Amino acid sequence: MNEHIHYIIKIKDQLDSHWKDWFDDFAITKTDDGNTILNGVIVDQAALHSVLKKIRDLGLTIISVNSQEKGE
């Protein structure tokens, strides 16, 4: 099963794009409602948890986590 899945994580408040490296090459987009979207491909569940952990350790608030099969 090809696990490479596209994840879209919405975070409260805005992160500057220089955070991209910290989040393992996730694209960072600021939304109009003052939040941030982290956008990237994750290899597997372990990698996903790792990203969520980074978010947690920074004290960021997660609004939503959505996935999208690559190619959809």
Partner 1 sequence: MENTILNTKFFIPDTRLKLVYRDRLINKLNQGIHRKLSLISAPAGFGKTTLVTEWLDKFLLNAEMDTQIKCCIAWLSLDENDNDPVRFLNYFIGALNKAEGIAETIGQKAMSILQSPQLPPAETILTLLINDIITIPDQIVFVLDDYHLIEAQSIHDALNFLLENLPSQMHMVIATRQDPPLPLGRLRARDQLTELRAADLRFTPDEAADFLKKVMGLDLSEEEVASLETRTEGWIAGLQLAAISMQGQDKSNFIQSFTGSHRFVLDYLVEEVLEQQPENVQEFLLRTSILNRLSSPLCDAVLDLPLSSGQETLEFLERANLFIVALDNERRWYRFHHLFAELLRQRLEQQKPDLVAKLHTRASVWYEKHGLEFEAFQHAASVNDVERAERLIAGDGIPRHLRGAVTTVLTWLQSLPRSTLNARPALWWRYATFLMFNGQTTGVDEKLQAAENALQGVELDDKTRNLIGQIAGTRAMLALTRYQVEDLLVQSRRALEYLDPKNLSSRASATLTLGFACFLQGDRTAARQAYLETIKLCQDCGNTFTAIMAANGLGNVLEIETHLHQAVETYQHALQLFGDQPLHTHAGQASLGLARISYEWNDLDAAEQYGEQSLEQVRQYDEVIDRFIFSEIFLARLKLAQGGVDDAAALLAQTERSARQRNFIHRLPEIAEMQVLILIRQGQVGAAAKLARQYELPLSQARVALAQGNAFAALSTLESYRQKMEAKGWADELLKVMILQSVALQAQGEKDKAMQVLGEALAMAESEGFIRIFVDEGSPMAQLLSEAALQGIMPSYVNKLLDAFDAEGQKKDVTSSKQLVDPLSNREIEILELIASGLKNKEIAEQLVISINTVLYHVKNIYRKLGVNKRTLAVAKAKEINLI
Give residues in contact with partner 1 (CB under 8 A).
Answer: 11, 13-16, 18-19, 21-22, 30, 34-36, 54, 56-60
Q: How many whole angstroms separate alpha carbon 66 and alpha carbon 7?
A: 6
Residues with Cβ < 8 Å from 56, sequence gap 6 or more?
Answer: none
We find the least distance from the C-beta atom of residue 27 to partner 1, in angstroms, to be 16
Residue 18 C-beta: closest distance to partner 1, Å = 5
Q: Which two tokens stand for residue 22?
A: 């910290």
- Residue whose pair of structure tokens reads 């491909």 in the numeric block: 41
* Cβ distance to partner 1 smaller for residue 57 or 72: 57
- Smallest distance, Å, CB 66 to partner 1? 20
